[in-house]
Structure 1
Amino acid sequence: MMGLAAVSAVAAMFIFALRPQPVQHHSSRTTITFWHSMNGPNEKVLLALIRRFNRSQTKYTVKPIYAGSYELSVMKYANTVGSNVAPDVIQSDQANQALMLDLKATVPVQKFVDRDHYDLSQLYPGVTAAYRIKGSLASMPFNSSSSVLYYNQDLFKKYAVPNLPLAPTYSDVTKAAVALTKRSHGAVKGMTLQIYGWLPEELAANQNAVIVNHGNGRRSLATAATLDSPAMQASMLWLQNVIKQGAFQNLGTGSAAANNQNAAFLAQKVGLFMQSSALLSQMQKSAKFKYGVVFTPHPDGTQANGVAIGGASLWITKNKPAAVQEGAWQLLKFLMTPQAQAAWQLGTGYFTVNQRASHEKTLAAAIRKQPALAVPIAQLKQGHLNAATAGAYFGNIQEERRNIEIAMQQIYGGADVQTALRTAETNTNAAIQKTNQVNRNQQQ
């Protein structure tokens, strides 16, 4: 995990810009500052929800502040802990969950849940499990997504390729990708899968495989990675097999690769790809063809276990007046209502956290018109609740993802799968051991 001194050095330059700015509100209202990482259309939806909250009551005024990417926002937060410029609520992604807890700067949401007897059963158990640490809900899930498989149904029809089943196996996807490539005489590449560390984690979770030991770091402190696992080997061998058959388009890694992948699919140059369900909103707006969405694929001969959710959650800062913390909690509850969650899914593509949201008229009508919107939730419901689907919890997840991305680059280039994965595991273990040793020294 990044040391707090390093975090402070990187973040210090950003603090002035985040100082609270004057806002006009009734003098009796308490102001709640909310740092978020939503931009573009998603930010517009979030701001609309906050305006609705501000109008819905007279005690609080929430002031939203865009704090940059998740990584940058958390670095800024670490640098402001204990100061008067620290936000009252911050949105942070799962990859930074361990760092957020190590800062010891937040109040577990479980405290308010217990106090108010808040009904957590209205939220999907597969979502809350991701943010439950040692039995306590650390933060409130907000924008949630999962990996799914997108495919071009018009191309499948044009080249007489059968549509994919809802829960496809690796061979189902391979057959479709090879058929598309061959029958189009190479005009269409069958599939792509971005070199992105989160995606192999999803493929492993769907085989009930963890990324680190001790129950994915949730039973006790993770001390070793499990990247060279049979599950990870099966996934990488599958991808390498599709590459060898000439039915795969390697678009590289990073944000440019993600954009190129989406562009290739929308231009009908690639027939299918695996990515976050949060892209559903973009697909609805941009696709000029009929497309399908199915579950994350799993190996033949195995039962799909389900996948871990992606996205982010909302944290309440600890050293704040009681009135401020109460306002933060009221905001979180508002954002969890079926009405707010339905508006959130319709506007952003992230799926709803509240199970009752699908019964809201607007979302129900949208799902009837576009059934693909219901696929991520169906996948979530069918998944098992276990350490794999809860997702990995350890401080070196960023290093792990970088290491697995290096392995993917090598594997896509034809390298031995087990050798590449073993190297990624060894390098991740070194990072975990170093972090654990630093933490032990600090506690002495």
Structure 2
Amino acid sequence: MKKTFRLGLFFLFVFTLTVLSACTNSDSSNNSSSSSSNSNGESSSSSENGSGEDKVTIEFWHAMSGSGQESIDEIVKGFNESQDKYQVNAEFQGSYEESLTKLRGVGGTKDAPAITQVFEVGTKYMIDSGYIEPMQSFIDKDNYDLSQLEENILNYYRVDGKLYSMPFNSSTPVMIYNKDAFKEAGLDPEKAPETFSEVIDAAAKLKTDEMYGFSMLTYGWFFEQLVATQGGLYVNEDNGRSGDATEALFNGPEGLNVFRFLDTMNKAGTFGNFGTNWDDIRSAFATGKVAMYMDSSAGVAGAINNAPFEVGVAYIPHADEVQRNGVVIGGASLWMSKGIAEEEQEAAWEFMKYLTTHEVQAKWHLDTGYFAINPKAYDEEIVKEKWAEYPQYKVTVDQLQDTIPGLATQGALISVFPESRQQIVTALEELYQGKDPQEVLDKAAEGTNRAMEIANKTKE
């Protein structure tokens, strides 16, 4: 009981931090919600259908608003109509942090939702929580063929060879650029810069009185990606995958490369600092205030549709002296609850299998811009037609599939990731104010180390 209580207090401390999520549920307002629970606000394990037969009814808690929520509702409706044994009720629970805080109150009990969507930086917490039944249990029992799913997406949620959750809304960062501005600056609009030095040079040529050359949201996720594509690890213990991490490594050579890259452009006046808000940096690009910027792959469609100029999409840049390793998956995955009725777990598993079919994944990909976790979806005619209209979509998929599997691109696992990301935000803000790159990075690493020390002691 003491361990559970302490873990709960620690979790509450960590997740009350305000955290952006890149591959986020913030594509639209969170004002709308969809709840299909019964009249007293509780779910039941069975309900009567029109023909008088009992259906096993389960709750699916999610944090998607806007187009994501609309797509989920349609997918759930399709599943419910595809068979007569199960009924899934999709229920919007607010932001990722709000949803996870609610799960704390019922996790591990019969009152928990059968399925909960959790953002990727909550992975370590969920594994340690005792709330969940690993996906691997059902995969093994059902002889489910995981090879049909995207390997570089599965890798993030696989620990010690065991898949703990089912990937759902998955995205990676990309570099988006103004092709018209490239032409005016004498740059090849069909060849985006690939290395840090090439970005720095291009930013200098693109800079005008009205437009900055390059920008990146002040957000830890992008920093993590620029470290990983160099093959750098975020923390020790094999990026937290062979044991509980105790030391931050992101202040090493790879992290310093990133901060010096940004510092060079900031001091040259070619870097535009648009803060921490996704809408602000996207608006800056659409209105011609910045020529190149980093965004989520899920933001590509919006960038194309909102810009009055031709938009290019490219792989994220890497340090000159290293080989490109690729990108780490962001977004969220679906977790199955432990402690609920066995028939509810079976219903959840059947829904997850339906969700991973290539037909459903094709719809999800086109509705939201997130990757299809089943790559066969890209062979669907509706996807081919969309890609013909927006060839930029294919660049995001190519970058993912070109990623070299390894500890760096598998992504780090630490329970205090939200706090660590905030440390990076502070470091970036201080960097842009003129402080030394190594100094602010070391400070962020020290803060992350303290947070990991507290988490590890609490866990014990």
User: Per the shorter chain, which TM-score range?
Assistant: over 0.9
Q: What one-letter code is carried by the residue in structure 2 that aligns with 1:205?
A: A
Residue of structure 2 equivalent to 1:360: 380
Identity over aligned residues, as a percent? 35
How far 1:275 moved relative to its partner?
Answer: 1.6
Cα offset, 1:5, TM superposition:
3.6
Partner of 1:61: 87
Deviations 1:261-309 (A, max 9, x none): 0111111111110121110232243233210110010011321011101
Q: Of residues 145, 148, 152 in structure 2, which corresponds to 1:126?
A: 152
The code of the aligned residue for 2:68 comes to: N
2:64 is equivalent to residue 38 of structure 1: yes
Shift of 1:154: 1.7
1:290 partnered with 2:314: no
Aligned length, in residue pairs: 431
Corresponding residue of 2:28: none
Question: Which residue of structure 1 lines up, in the alignment, with residue 34 of structure 2?
Answer: none
Distance 1:310 1:286, change over 3 A: same
Residue aligning to 1:3: 7
For 1:330, give the aligned amino acid: E
User: Residues of 1 paired with 2:395 and 2:191: CA distance?
Assistant: 12
Residue equivalent to 1:154 = 180
2:334: which partner in 1?
314
The range that moved more, 110-119 or 204-213, is: 110-119
- State the alpha-carbon separation in 2 of the partners of residues 164 and 215 from structure 1: 38
Question: Could you tell me which of 309, 327, 333 is aligned with 2:353?
Answer: 333
1:96 aligns with 2:116: no
List aligned pairs for 1:76-91, cutoff 5 A: 76-91=102-117
Paired with 2:64 and 2:41, the residues of 1 have a C-alpha distance of 16
Q: CA deviation at 1:228?
A: 1.1
The match for 2:31 is none
- Which residue identity does 1:321 align to in structure 2? A
Q: CA RMSD in A?
A: 2.2
Identify the residue that residue 402 of structure 1 maps to in structure 2: 422
Q: CA deviation at 1:145?
A: 0.3
Does residue 230 of structure 1 match 2:234? no
Residue 233 (structure 2) pairs with residue 207 (structure 1):
no
Residue 165 of structure 2: which of 139, 143, 147 is its match?
Answer: 139
Q: CA deviation at 1:8?
A: 7.0
Please name the residue that 1:269 is paired with.
Answer: 289
Contact 1:139 1:313 survives alignment (8 Å): yes
- Are 2:203 and 2:270, in contact at CA under 8 Å, matched by a contact in 1? yes
Of the three residues 169, 186, 204, the one matched with 2:195 is 169
After TM superposition, the runs of 4+ consecutive aligned structure 1 residues lying more than 4 A away are 6-11, 15-18, 21-24
Paired amino acid for 1:235? V
Residue 247 in 1 paired to residue 251 in 2?
Answer: no
Q: Output the CA distance in 1 between the equivalents of 2:125 and 2:184.
A: 49
Q: Deviation at 1:3?
A: 3.5
Q: What are the Cα deviations for residues 8-42 of structure 1, in whole angstroms up to 9, with x where unaligned?
A: 7999xxx9996439987444111110000100111
Counterpart residue identity of residue 174, structure 1: I
Matched letter for residue 214 of structure 2:
M
Q: Any idea what the Cα deviations from partners look like across 1:201-241, whole Å, max 9, x if unmatched?
A: 00000001111101100012211111211000001100110
Q: Using a 3 Å threshold, how does the CA distance of structure 1 residues 422 and 18 change in structure 2: closer, same or farther?
A: farther
SS of aligned partner of 1:3: helix
Unaligned runs of 5+ in 1: none
- 8 Å CA contact 1:281–1:346 kept in 2: the answer is no
1:385 aligned to which of 362, 380, 405 = 405
Q: TM-score, normalised by structure 1?
A: 0.92
Deviation at 1:321, TM superposition (A): 1.6
Question: Is there any run of 5+ residues in structure 2 with no aligned partner, and where?
Answer: 17-36
Instruction: Show CA shifts across 1:44-69 (max 9, x none).
Output: 01111111111111111110000111
TM-score between both structures, scaled by the size of structure 2: 0.89
**Residue 7 of structure 1, CA deviation:** 5.3
Shift of 1:159: 3.1
Q: Which residue identity is paired with 2:377? A: A
For residue 107 of structure 1, report the CA deviation from its aligned partner: 0.9
Q: What letter corresponds to residue 346 of structure 1 in structure 2?
A: L
Among candidates 323, 331, 340, match of residue 303 of structure 1: 323
